[in-house]
Structure 1
Amino acid sequence: MAHQQDGLFPQSLLKAFSVLIFIILSKDVCNGQPQLIGPSQALVARAGDDVILPCHLEPAYDVSIKTLEWTRSSLDPRFVYVSRASQEIEKLKNPSFKGRTSLFVDELKYGNISLKISKVKFDDTGTYKCYIPEMEKEAFVELVVGK
């Protein structure tokens, strides 16, 4: 246990603790590890509209040769979109999304993994996961579809 000096921690202990906290919080940034970023609030769309589920890496990182997955755990199969090296794997996709989902392929080199869903339906409401398996990075996007 740390010894107290006049009711305060010694300055050297406080400084060491501050440095340790900084290292822990900035570990990924210092290692050059990009973070997958999604929106902080739910997206709301109207049935029949097209919607973009935002997801990107910060700092920008080329993911054009990576496996990219968009899933919704409440579905079976759970895959909304899967690509490997910029090529979509249609056979894994949930049938309700066939022909309705796409990525911005030209933007993958900048870390943009945003998913476009065309002609959204009420059944599209839910939580989507943007995931890069090789990097073990994920972000979540909540979509609410209304009238």
Structure 2
Amino acid sequence: MLSLKNGLLLQSPLKTLSFLVFQLLLLHSCRGQSLLIGPSQPIVANVGGDIILPCQLEPGMDVFDMTLEWTRPDLSPEFVHVRRAGQHIAVTKHPSYKARTFMFIDELRHGNCSLKLTDVKPSDAGRYQCYIPKLSVESFVDLVVGKWTHSVSTVWCGSHPEKN
């Protein structure tokens, strides 16, 4: 019901409530969700080398004190690296990853949840999940492991440089 009082238009309580609910829904949907961004292609590692499994929270925010979980669902226990309340939790970690996983502590303040894996083994190949329970966001990284040797071959265009 609409009425005019002192030059102001008054609306019914139901219409006002509907408008407020609409505004709250609009605010919630425009606020944006956090996303964990990982690589679109598999990460390739050489046996014995070190590799970084990328995982970035967008928009960046401080996740230092949040629970962060890196898992491999095909393992038991599935935990590769876990942080809770700003501390690395080694008790729940799969034994094959003991003393081989590291997070960039200073970068956690900017949403960088990437994991460094050292001394890569063939058994490290697989699908990894980066997960932040508080935000209900996850990202996946596929790791391919092989043993490649690096050889450099030189290709000359035109005449050989020593013959000029």
Q: TM-score, normalised on structure 2?
A: 0.71
SS at match of 2:91: helix
Q: Which residue is equivalent to 1:73?
A: 73
Rounded Cα–Cα distance in structure 2 between residues aligned with 1:31 and 1:54:
25
Q: Which residue is equivalent to 1:145?
A: 145
Q: Which residue is equivalent to 1:60?
A: 60
Offset, 1:31: 1.8
Q: Give unpaired runs (5+ residues) of structure 1.
A: 1-26
Contact kept in structure 2, 1:36 and 1:137, CA below 8 Å: yes
Q: Which residue is equivalent to 2:36?
A: 36
User: What RMSD over aligned residues (CA atoms) do the two structures have, in Å?
Assistant: 1.7
What percent identity do the matched residue pairs reach?
58
Rounded Cα–Cα distance in structure 2 between residues aligned with 1:86 and 1:54:
19
CA-to-aligned-CA distance 1:13-61 (integer Å, 9 cap, x gap): xxxxxxxxxxxxxx4xx22422110000000000000000000111111
Rounded Cα–Cα distance in structure 2 between residues aligned with 1:124 and 1:38:
18
Rounded Cα–Cα distance in structure 2 between residues aligned with 1:71 and 1:34:
20
Contact kept in structure 1, 2:79 and 2:93, CA below 8 Å: yes
Contact kept in structure 2, 1:34 and 1:61, CA below 8 Å: no
Q: Give unpaired runs (5+ residues) of structure 2.
A: 1-28, 148-164
Offset, 1:65: 1.0
Offset, 1:72: 0.2
What is the total number of aligned residue pairs between the two structures?
A: 122
Rounded Cα–Cα distance in structure 1 between residues aligned with 2:65 and 2:100:
23
Q: Which residue is equivalent to 1:131?
A: 131
Largest Rg, 1 or 2: 2
2:128 partner letter = Y
CA-to-aligned-CA distance 1:60-95 (integer Å, 9 cap, x gap): 111011000000001110000000122100000000
Q: TM-score, normalised on structure 1?
A: 0.79
1:50 is the counterpart of 2:50: yes
SS at match of 1:99: coil
Q: Runs of 4 or more off by more than 3 Å in structure 1?
A: none
